[in-house]
Amino acid sequence: MFESLGLLPTFPLLGFLTLFLAGGFLPRRMIGLIGAGSIGLSFLVALSIVMPFLSGDSEEVRHVVYTWLSVGNFESTFGLYLDGLTVVMILVITGVGFLIHLYSTGFMIDDPSFSRFFAIMNLFVASMLILVIADNLLLLYLGWEGVGLCSYLLIGFWYTDPENGYAARKAFVTTRVGDTSMAIGLFLLFTQLGTLDIQSLLVFAQDRWDIGSGFAIAATLLLLGGAVGKSAQLPLQTWLPDAMAGPTPISALIHAATMVTAGVYLIARMHPLFELAPNVQLLVALIGLATLLIAGFTAMTQHDIKRILAYSTISQIGYMFLGLGVGAWSASIFHLMTHAFFKALLFLGAGTVILSLHHEHDIFKMGGKWRQLPVAFASFMIGSLALAAFPFTSGYFSKDEILIGALAVEGVGLWLWLGGVVGAFFTGIYSFRLVFVVFFGESRGHHDEGEVTGLAMALPLFVLMVLALLGGFIHIPVDNVFSHGAALVATHEEHSVSTFMHAVMIVVPLLGIGVSYLFYCAGVFSVSSLMKLPLAKTLHSFWYSGWGFDYLYKLLFISPFLWLSKVNRRDVVDTFYAGIVVLSVFGNAVSVRSQSGLLRWYILSIVIGIVLLVSLGAFL
């Protein structure tokens, strides 16, 4: 029955083809049925594969569908691989994906490009599934590029507005930088280890490379480059906030639950390689830490509802990277799953808010909406509690495990833990800042709008609410995956964490919630009085702009590039070809003078020719 693994991406692919080719002719109901239904079918297929797998005793399953390339020593197949990690990923992708598709049938109902939306969404899910079930890196790269393409197409979905096009382009180019790094990493791995098949590659690497060897460091750094691009971490995190220009369901699916977790998946999948290069692994943790703090600061200053959630996503993925960096692999994947639940819940709730308030994005133009938008209010409350790691929500368990894992690292472990705790404090502040400003207090605008919600939109929200609350109790079957030769994990299990530290981890998010309550709900402190402090305004605009990364990149890369293309407008390389033209024209100008049209000139040339021939014959 594991042959049906190949069916997983096939249903969404068929959905894509149908909607792409025939979408213009089908009625809305049918489009929605095909679009969401194909993902639903994939979810059922995933369930039908996972149940026997979990109850059986095999650790992994492989199934080759088709040989894609076979050139010389290199062979790449459409090979599919199933183990515990894959199980988690496919269930999250198809499950949360199906809920978001269902929501979109209600959310996008008035959009004229309804079929295009679902076609590209289906292609996206197909690519993501290919990415996670690939057994070789080349097929994974295919899925990687596919999700990048769909992300571009969907961010720029409303292409008639040029700003959306710029945002899509920015996303694509930034992730492309990461993709190039990853491609070079693939080349390195192939030339050194002779194969791109993941499991064999990992075995070869562990045999041939010592811990800390140059190749391991180089390969993992390059792969890290790719992961950083796709998952919007430092230094390639600038594209994600602008990607909020796309429709809200795709922000939920691509930029919260699935695509941005591809980097995390890659590192988790290649974890033996990273264990061979401990410095790079530490770098992963540091990148995660830096990103989560930077994004946390920025999220506190934003006032667009989706941008707050975008920076929150960057921050939470920073937590996942932190977990990967300290060797808490299972914890990171667990956090990936719970994050998918509550972040999708938050984004879909935000979609409801935006749609109900006639596309209003600014939270300071809303207020006191808890009565008007009850379902959205519930979604945000539950989602934000999970995000801030309120005890016994799903987010609490996963974040806790990561922070405990961070403590286990020698030397810097305490600092990493401290950074994570500070990040949790900020998370509490900004998540509840959003809730308090939008749903409590005085109603600042849009007084009479009722909530837009039908069954299609409400049902996914309820399911996600349940998952966000109770998802922490799911035990993910990744123990077998991460137990091979992972010394760090072993120590992590043995390390005892003091009760004090546990208490700190519980209390700090609550402190954050409390602080934001005091600022935004009870009015005890006010932001405007804070702003009167010296340097406050500079700090605020610095954090608001995402720590100036956009400005920095513009200065370092974009302006020189534009200057260079302006200087080279006449195209230096072209002058060579223009030179050929000039040369022929010159040759023509010279030789056309012999065509004088005068009869005597022609007679003379004939005579000269005859004389030459005769004299050649006579004198030679």
Partner 1 sequence: MDTIPFEHGLLLASALFALGLVGVTTRRNIVFVLMSLEIMLNATGLVFVVGSSKWGHADGQIMFLMILTLAAAEVAVGLALIIQLYRRFKTVDIDVLSQLKG
Partner 2 sequence: MSFLFYAGGAVALISTLFVILQTNVVHALIYLVLSLLAVAVVFFSLGAPFVALLEAIVYAGAIMVLFLFVVMMLNLGQTTREQEKAWLPPRVWLIPVVLATVLLSGLLSSFPANSIEVTEVGVMEVSGLLFGPYVLAVELASFLLLAGLISAYHLAKSR
Nearest approach, Cβ of residue 612 and partner 2 (Å): 9
Nearest approach, Cβ of residue 592 and partner 1 (Å): 6
Nearest approach, Cβ of residue 571 and partner 2 (Å): 49
Closer to partner 1 by Cβ: residue 581 or 592: 592
Q: Is 94 helix (H, G, I), strand (E, B) or coil?
A: helix
Which alpha helices (H) appear in 194-304, and where do they start and end?
Answer: 198-208, 214-230, 239-242, 248-252, 262-269, 271-275, 278-301
Residue 596 binding target from partner 2, partner 1, none, CB below 5 to 8 Å by type = partner 1
Per rule CB under 8 A, is residue 490 in the interface with partner 2?
no
Taking the C-alpha atoms of residue 181 and residue 549, their distance in angstroms, rounded to an integer, is 20
Residue 595 binding target from partner 1, partner 2, none, CB below 5 to 8 Å by type = partner 1
Residue 599 binding target from partner 1, partner 2, none, CB below 5 to 8 Å by type = partner 1
At residue 279, φ and ψ (nearest 5 deg) are: -65, -40
Closer to partner 2 by Cβ: residue 561 or 601: 601
- Which residues of the shown chain bind partner 1 in the complex (CB under 8 A)? 592, 595-600, 603-604, 607
Nearest approach, Cβ of residue 619 and partner 2 (Å): 7
Amino acid at 92: V
Q: How far is CA 28 from CA 33, 124, 125, 458, in A?
A: 8, 20, 20, 19
Nearest approach, Cβ of residue 610 and partner 1 (Å): 8
Closer to partner 1 by Cβ: residue 572 or 618: 618
571, with CB counted inside 10 A (0-12, 13-18, 19+), is exposed
Residue 619 binding target from partner 2, partner 1, none, CB below 5 to 8 Å by type = partner 2
Closer to partner 1 by Cβ: residue 65 or 604: 604
Residue 618 binding target from partner 2, partner 1, none, CB below 5 to 8 Å by type = partner 2
Closer to partner 1 by Cβ: residue 470 or 604: 604
- The full length of the chain comes to 620
Taking the C-alpha atoms of residue 75 and residue 14, their distance in angstroms, rounded to an integer, is 27
Q: Is 201 helix (H, G, I), strand (E, B) or coil?
A: helix
Taking the C-alpha atoms of residue 332 and residue 318, their distance in angstroms, rounded to an integer, is 10
Taking the C-alpha atoms of residue 620 and residue 614, their distance in angstroms, rounded to an integer, is 10
Nearest approach, Cβ of residue 596 and partner 2 (Å): 16
Nearest approach, Cβ of residue 615 and partner 2 (Å): 4
Taking the C-alpha atoms of residue 12 and residue 121, their distance in angstroms, rounded to an integer, is 9
Residue 614 binding target from partner 2, partner 1, none, CB below 5 to 8 Å by type = partner 2
Residue 603 binding target from partner 2, partner 1, none, CB below 5 to 8 Å by type = partner 1
Nearest approach, Cβ of residue 594 and partner 2 (Å): 16
Q: Helices 137-155 and 262-269 meet at what angle, rounded to 10?
A: 170
Closer to partner 2 by Cβ: residue 54 or 607: 607
Residue 598 binding target from partner 1, partner 2, none, CB below 5 to 8 Å by type = partner 1
Binding string, residues 549-588; x marks residues near partner 2 by CB under 8 A: ----------------------------------------
Q: Would you say 114 and 108 are in contact if contact means Cβ atoms under 8 Å apart?
A: yes
Q: Would you say 201 and 195 are in contact if contact means Cβ atoms under 8 Å apart?
A: yes
Per rule CB under 8 A, is residue 615 in the interface with partner 2?
yes
Burial state string for 84-114 with b = 16 or more CB within 10 A and e = fewer than 16: bbbbbbbbbbbbbbbbbbbbbbbbbeeeebb
Amino acid at 317: I
Nearest approach, Cβ of residue 172 and partner 1 (Å): 54
Residue 35 has, within 13 A of its CA and on its CB side, a CA count of 30
Closer to partner 1 by Cβ: residue 557 or 602: 602
170, with CB counted inside 10 A (0-12, 13-18, 19+), is buried
Taking the C-alpha atoms of residue 258 and residue 500, their distance in angstroms, rounded to an integer, is 35
Closer to partner 1 by Cβ: residue 21 or 603: 603
* Distance spanning both ends of the chain, measured CA to CA: 93
Chain residues 581-610 in contact with partner 2, contact rule CB under 8 A: 604, 607-608, 610
**Contacts with partner 2, residue ranges (CB under 8 A):** 604, 607-608, 610-611, 614-615, 617-619
